[in-house]
Chains A and B, each alone.
Chain A
Amino acid sequence: MRFEQDQQNFIWQQGQPVINYFDQQKFEQMLEQILLPLHRQSTNLFLEFDRCARRWKKETAFKSSISDIAMNPSYQRIIGMGKDALPFIFNELEREPDEWFWALMAITDENPVKPEERGYIDKMAKAWLRWAKEKGFG
């Protein structure tokens, strides 16, 4: 496998180079052993989250009981992903506020929603997104 010089950009992060030299052999080694497995792992996790989230929404669309909504197997699987699921949940919450609050409380053991905000989906979502930003997720 050969990489052109300009493909070095692949390993730049936030404007800073992860490596500041171009050693073809070391680059390929890093790519094969670290970057690609990390990328695959992250992609697989996102795909799994997305699959579970879609299934959860479909299976609970008509449910009224919050317990039924939260005990759905796909939702529980997302909770089982632990903190790795948080960035995906916050993205969803920002895109379209929904019943992610139970999962967030279960994963983080916190609840930044004030009593007077309870039930207002938009306010609950904003409280969690503020929390996410404070904790470095945003």
Chain B
Amino acid sequence: MIESELGKIFPNLGANDYEVKSPQAKEYNCIAWAAGVSNRKWWPKLHYWPVVEETEESVEAFVRVFAKLGYEPCSSSNFEEGFEKVAIYADENNRTKHMARQLASGSWTSKLGSEVDIEHTLDGLTGREYGHVARILKRPKNVARKMI
């Protein structure tokens, strides 16, 4: 069921490009999941947001918020030992649509809306639903998550 839906929503996600890793859950969303949180939703204004003054949904605003969590922009999506990476997906108007987090295996993990978590390729989620990969951010693994 979910597999056939995923194929329709994310045409760039090949059948071998992902693996479903959790049951459906409404308690958290992709942004929280990218930040390593699975019991709370993150989104400016309506839900939890680490920097309440940042109310925009632009990629730049999300970069500024994640900078407070120790992340800085980087150019490569390749896995780097000692670093955690997250990706921001955005539409053509530079509005944030989704975030994913890199795993130690080098693949990426995402919470898909109110549905499941999957492990996937970075490009697999690009397209009409989440747009393109607009930024890759990284931080040293030992950075304390003081603001979560």
Contact = CB atoms under 8 A, between A and B. Distances in A.
A98 interface: yes
A23 interface: no
A62 B32 contact: no
B43 to A, nearest CB: 4
B48 A65 contact: no
A130 B31 CA distance: 28
A119 interface: yes
Contact of A66 (B47, B99, B130): B47
A67 interface: yes
B47 A62 contact: no
A64 B39 contact: no
A120 B57 contact: no
B114 interface: yes
A8 interface: no
Nearest to B48: A119
A97 B25 CA distance: 11
Contact of A62 (B31, B49, B113): B113
Interface in A13-38: none
A63 interface: yes
B129 A66 contact: no
Given A119-B40, A120-B39, A65 B57 contact: yes
Interface in A93-129: 96-99, 101-102, 115, 118-122
Interface residues of A, number: 21
Given A62-B115, A64-B112, A67-B57, 19 more contacts: A60-B114, A61-B5, A61-B114, A62-B5, A62-B112, A64-B29, A64-B98, A65-B96, A65-B97, A65-B98, A66-B46, A66-B47, A98-B114, A118-B46, A119-B42, A120-B48, A121-B26, A121-B27, A121-B41
30 contacts: A60-B114, A61-B113, A61-B114, A62-B5, A62-B9, A62-B112, A62-B115, A62-B129, A63-B129, A64-B97, A64-B113, A64-B130, A65-B43, A65-B96, A66-B43, A66-B46, A68-B97, A96-B26, A97-B26, A101-B46, A102-B46, A115-B52, A118-B46, A118-B48, A118-B49, A119-B40, A119-B41, A119-B43, A119-B48, A120-B27
Interface of B: 5, 9-10, 26-27, 29-32, 39-43, 46-49, 52, 57, 95-99, 111-115, 129-130
A-B complex: 8 closest residue pairs judged by Cβ atoms: A119-B48, A119-B40, A119-B47, A62-B113, A64-B30, A119-B41, A66-B43, A64-B98
Interface of A: 60-68, 96-99, 101-102, 115, 118-122
